[in-house]
Amino acid sequence: MKRLDRTFLGAAAFAALLPAAQAARPLTTDDAGIVEAGACQLETWVQHQRGQTAYWAVPACNPTGNLELGVGASRVRADGATAGGDAQLQAKTVLRPLSAEDWGLALAVGAVRHPAGTPHRNDLYLNLPLSVPLAGESLLMHLNAGWVRTQGAGENRRTWGLAGEWRAFERTTLLAESFGQSGGKPFVQAGLRHTLVPDRVQLDFTVGGPARGGSAGRWVSFGLRLMTPAFLQ
């Protein structure tokens, strides 16, 4: 397969370091919540950039009540060929529960393995998501501060994210965010999340790309989120 565009891989790889487990798709910036105790979810989406498409699936479950365990994997298609993508493991716990009146805090740790042929294939990361209700559950702000270590290269970088969610209609939430890491260009993304079945099925759409650089590197994504009732406890 021909070399994939570096901007696309950079955005996709960084998205894996701030996984969608959970400000819910389609935000890359995480929130302070986890899957309902005893329940599971599946987030799956397609992210397309000019000539390149990545397919993601990220299931996660909360078997204990305050420990969400997730795995993720992607496949990338470019130049008419399909190759392996990233693989990911993550554990997340709530340190302070989020409510409609008060802020919440969580901790996520995980590892990402990049495709064969990628320099420095393994990353370890830690992320602290802080969520703040600005107008109850109708308007939320999420702040992320984290760290990622690229094994092999011995590089340590700070990661960050800032996102907002506005419930514009009963079942539709508008989203905007910016995220990045030290030493790299920031990315921006905006879109919406629409609930088809409350607490069970959601659809989402985003457009995003580098904060600076014109149309080069821009992407669109379409996603589906499925949530189960509690059945593990």
H/E run at residue 15: helix 6-17
- The rounded percent of the chain whose pLDDT value lies above 70 is 86
Those residues whose C-beta lies under 8 Å from the C-beta of residue 131, and which sit 6 or more positions away, are 23, 31, 32, 33, 98, 103, 104, 105, 140, 141, 142, 143
Please report, for residues 86, 100, 126, 161, 172, the alpha-carbon distance to residue 103 in angstroms, rounded to integers and kept in the order given: 32, 8, 20, 16, 22
Peptide bond into 26 cis (omega under 30): yes
Q: What are the structural domain ranges in the chain?
A: 6-227
Q: Per-residue pLDDT for 9 more than 50?
A: no
Q: Which residue has the tokens 């590892």?
A: 111
The predicted pLDDT at position 199 comes to: 94
pLDDT in tens, 104-125: 999 999 999 987 767 667 899 9
Question: Rounded to 10 degrees, what is the CA torsion of 174, 179, 2, 76?
Answer: -50
The predicted pLDDT at position 3 comes to: 41
Average pLDDT, the chain: 87
- pLDDT band of residue 23 (cuts 50, 70, 90) is low
d(CA 65, CA 62): 6
Q: Per-residue pLDDT for 128 more than 90?
A: yes
- pLDDT band of residue 18 (cuts 50, 70, 90) is very low
The predicted pLDDT at position 115 comes to: 79
The SS3 call for residue 161 is strand
Please report, for residues 44, 46, 82, 118, 211, the alpha-carbon distance to residue 4 in angstroms, rounded to integers and kept in the order given: 22, 16, 11, 11, 20
d(CA 14, CA 62): 24
pLDDT in tens, 207-219: 999 998 767 789 9
d(CA 58, CA 217): 24
- Mean pLDDT confidence for 86-91: 94
> What CATH number labels 6-227?
2.40.160.40
pLDDT in tens, 52-74: 899 999 999 999 999 999 999 99
Q: Per-residue pLDDT for 26 more than 60?
A: yes
- pLDDT band of residue 225 (cuts 50, 70, 90) is very high
- pLDDT band of residue 35 (cuts 50, 70, 90) is very high
Q: Which residue has the tokens 């993601």?
A: 56
d(CA 217, CA 184): 14
